[in-house]
């Protein structure tokens, strides 16, 4: 299912909030420039997020390979879009 970058971004933001058990809001994340560490995102929340991304978008993001890039909303969106693009090939 092709999805545009804004739809992916909206979905990622929704999953970030949900995986942190609602302790943060989309506005909190955006106010910190999309940096998860800046909103005290925990390692457990991060694991939940990666699982939720796999369930939602059907792509696997490897935290070890993604490194710091997966610590931001933009980095996660870029990785999801790249994986979706490679799945379509």
- Residue 30, domain member (yes or no): yes
Residue partners of 17: CB distance under 8 A and separation at least 6: 24, 25, 26, 29
What is the total count of domains within the chain? 1
- Residue 89, domain member (yes or no): no
pLDDT in tens, 55-76: 999 999 998 887 788 999 999 9
In the chain, beta strands by DSSP E: none
Q: Flag whether pLDDT at 89 surpasses 50.
A: no
Partners of 72 in the beta sheet? 35
- Residue 10, domain member (yes or no): yes
- Collapsing DSSP to helix, strand or coil, 80 comes out as helix
- Collapsing DSSP to helix, strand or coil, 72 comes out as strand
Q: Is the pTM of this model over 0.95?
A: no
The domain containing residue 58 runs over which residues? Answer: 5-84
- Residue 52, domain member (yes or no): yes
Tell me which of 2-6, 7-11, 14-18, 85-89 is least confident: 85-89
Q: Flag whether pLDDT at 33 surpasses 90.
A: yes
Q: Flag whether pLDDT at 83 surpasses 80.
A: yes
At residue 82, what are phi and psi to the nearest 5 degrees?
Answer: -65, -45
CATH number at residue 18: 1.10.1200
């Amino acid at each position: 299912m092709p999805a545009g970058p804004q739809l992916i971004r909206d979905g990622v933001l929704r999953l970030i909030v949900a995986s942190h058990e609602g302790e943060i809001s989309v506005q909190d994340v955006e106010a910190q420039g999309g940096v998860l560490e800046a909103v005290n995102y925990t390692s457990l929340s991060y694991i939940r997020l990666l699982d939720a991304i796999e369930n939602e978008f059907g792509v696997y993001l490897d935290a070890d390979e993604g490194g710091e890039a997966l610590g931001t909303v933009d980095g996660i969106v870029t990785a999801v879009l790249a994986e979706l693009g490679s799945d379509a090939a």
